[in-house]
């Protein structure tokens, strides 16, 4: 299978799964995870060489963070900076602690659990913000604090 056909098949699967998930009112981010499982090694095995798709993954992260940045108002963020820093730090700290405990439960060493916990704490924040943005909750004060 040529590289272009693989990419077309993967993108087509993602579009179809996102469309289906939106019809049943489930978040698009969950649809992308399911599409990845479908086309991955344990599904249809359309993505043969993982290394080839790492660039797309990095580009996706860049676009995700860029679109999240578009949601923020700098003057509003500066006005709420003390609250945002304290609540944000608390949220990341609690998430880090929970993910570290889970990592230790699964047999990771303390440094490895810390690294995995840090990665998951920060990425979960980005995913939650994206979900709030899609649902329109970023316009409310509670959404902006997130």
**pTM: predicted TM-score of the whole model, two decimal places:** 0.56
Q: How sure is the predictor about 100, in pLDDT bands with cuts at 50, 70 and 90? A: very high
Digit-coded pLDDT (tens) for 22-44: 899 888 878 888 888 888 877 78
63-99 pLDDT, tens per residue? 877 877 777 777 877 887 788 788 888 888 998 999 9
CA 58 from chain centre, in angstroms, equals: 12
Q: Say yes or no to pLDDT of 1 above 60.
A: no
Rg (CA), the chain: 18
Of 33, 31, 46, 132, the residue nearest 91 (C-alpha): 132
| Mean pLDDT, all residues of the chain | 80
CA distance 38 to 139: 34
Lowest mean pLDDT among 8-17, 49-58, 76-85, 135-144: 135-144
The confidence band for 137, taking pLDDT boundaries of 50, 70 and 90, is: low
């Amino acid at each position: 299978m040529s590289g272009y056909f693989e990419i077309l098949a993967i993108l087509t699967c993602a579009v179809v799964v996102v469309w289906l998930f939106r019809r049943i009112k489930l978040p698009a981010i969950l649809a992308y995870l399911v599409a990845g499982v479908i086309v991955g090694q344990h599904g249809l095995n359309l993505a043969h060489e993982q290394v080839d798709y790492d660039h797309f993954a990095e580009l996706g992260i860049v676009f995700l963070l860029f679109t999240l940045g578009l949601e923020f108002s700098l003057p509003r963020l500066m006005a709420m900076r003390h609250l945002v820093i304290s609540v944000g730090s608390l949220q990341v700290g609690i998430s880090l602690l929970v993910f570290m405990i889970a990592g230790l439960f699964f047999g990771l060493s303390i440094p490895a659990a810390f690294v995995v916990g840090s990665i998951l704490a920060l990425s979960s924040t980005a995913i939650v913000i994206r979900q709030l943005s899609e649902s329109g909750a970023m316009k409310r004060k509670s959404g902006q604090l997130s």
